[in-house]
Amino acid sequence: MRAFATAALTGAGIEGAEIDADLLIGHVLGQSRGQVQAGAFMGTALSDTDAAAIVALVQRREKREPLQHITGRAPFRGLELNVGPGVFVPRPETEGVAQLAIDALRSMADPEPIGVDLGTGSGAIALALATEVPHARVYACENSADAFPWTSRNFTEVAAENATLVFADLAGAFTELNGTVAVVVSNPPYIPADAIPRDPEVRLFDPAHALFGGPDGLDIVRLVSQTGLRLLRPGGALIIEHGELQGAEIRALLDADGWRATATHRDLTTRDRSTTALRP
């Protein structure tokens, strides 16, 4: 079954087909990748019911339905998040963006530094901040009615007492925190409206609300800049995720808005992935 699943997914053009095959089989059998591989090596027989269930999942993945939609779970740093139709699936490169925000929070002298995640989606960044910087207070907002049930479920499941979630537009969120926040982080929609995402998983399944940021892709980034200036105290840090070709334009935007020390950072694939700045 493992060889069949790997071959089918390879034929569908899926990178890492063997990994996806293991994870789909493991999802049905309740096993880890190592257990799946050991079972295949030993020739462990599957029941007809399990074999049929695996074939059905492989067929869904062949149509480029995201693996995380099929399993209902997405790993993010030390978390396992609930995801599905309507919510953006967190990507590995965003783990590095979260690390920048975590490092910034940890560097603050505040006894309880405040972190804010604008447009939290699945809650990935906010919950990473809350669980990895337990002395911080973390606030997150999301304005998509389709995404918010997933966000709420993740906040409930993680049950971080220092994390607060609200349904709100980021531009007007958390006015009670104005001038007190240590770190603002956001992974906003940043794809230009006329661009076509390359990957079928993104193009066919990710919500447009989480992808497209207006004609030049920066409409929401502009809102994040203004909201960050409102929320952050002097010396507070802003972290924005963006596309690999947008670093220079976002630095110019932030410089024009009055931010200082703007800098763009690469992800593990050496692509520009995020830009940081400090509140004057």
Question: Could you read off the pLDDT of 61-95 as tens digits, one per residue?
Answer: 999 999 999 999 999 999 999 999 999 999 999 99
Chosen domain end from 30, 63, 96? 63
Tell me, yes or no, whether 20 and 144 share the same domain: no
Going through the chain in order, the beta strands assigned E by DSSP cover 73-76, 79-82, 114-118, 137-142, 163-167, 181-186, 232-241, 260-266, 272-278
pLDDT band (50, 70, 90) for residue 42: confident
CATH number at residue 202: 3.40.50.150
pLDDT band (50, 70, 90) for residue 225: very high
* Residue 76 · residue 90 · CB < 8 Å: yes
The tally of domains found in the chain comes to 2
Domain contains 49: yes
Domain contains 82: yes
Distances in Å between the Cα of 57 and the Cα atoms of 9, 50, 63, 69 are 11, 11, 10, 11
Measured between alpha carbons, how far is 110 from 254 in angstroms, rounded to an integer? 25
Task: Enumerate the known binding-site residues for substrate.
Answer: 187-190
pTM beyond 0.75: the answer is yes
Domain contains 176: yes
Tell me, yes or no, whether 216 and 139 share the same domain: yes
Task: Enumerate the known binding-site residues.
Answer: 119-123, 142, 187-190
* Residue 159 · residue 183 · CB < 8 Å: no
Q: Is the pLDDT of residue 277 over 90?
A: yes
Q: Provide the residue range defining the domain that includes 97.
A: 76-279
Tell me, yes or no, whether 225 and 129 share the same domain: yes
Tell me, yes or no, whether 41 and 82 share the same domain: no
Distances in Å between the Cα of 136 and the Cα atoms of 107, 218, 235 are 11, 29, 17
Domain contains 71: no
Tell me, yes or no, whether 97 and 210 share the same domain: yes
Chosen domain end from 63, 87, 115? 63
* Residue 105 · residue 136 · CB < 8 Å: yes
Task: Enumerate the known binding-site residues for S-adenosyl-L-methionine.
Answer: 119-123, 142, 187
Tell me, yes or no, whether 244 and 118 share the same domain: yes
DSSP state of 197: -
* Residue 128 · residue 79 · CB < 8 Å: yes
Domain contains 70: no
Measured between alpha carbons, how far is 113 from 183 in angstroms, rounded to an integer? 8
At 159-216, the pLDDT tens digits run 999 999 999 999 999 999 999 999 999 999 999 998 888 888 898 888 988 999 999 9
Tell me, yes or no, whether 39 and 170 share the same domain: no
Domain contains 69: no
Chosen domain end from 40, 63, 86? 63
Quote the pLDDT of residue 106: 97
Tell me, yes or no, whether 126 and 44 share the same domain: no
* Residue 97 · residue 239 · CB < 8 Å: yes
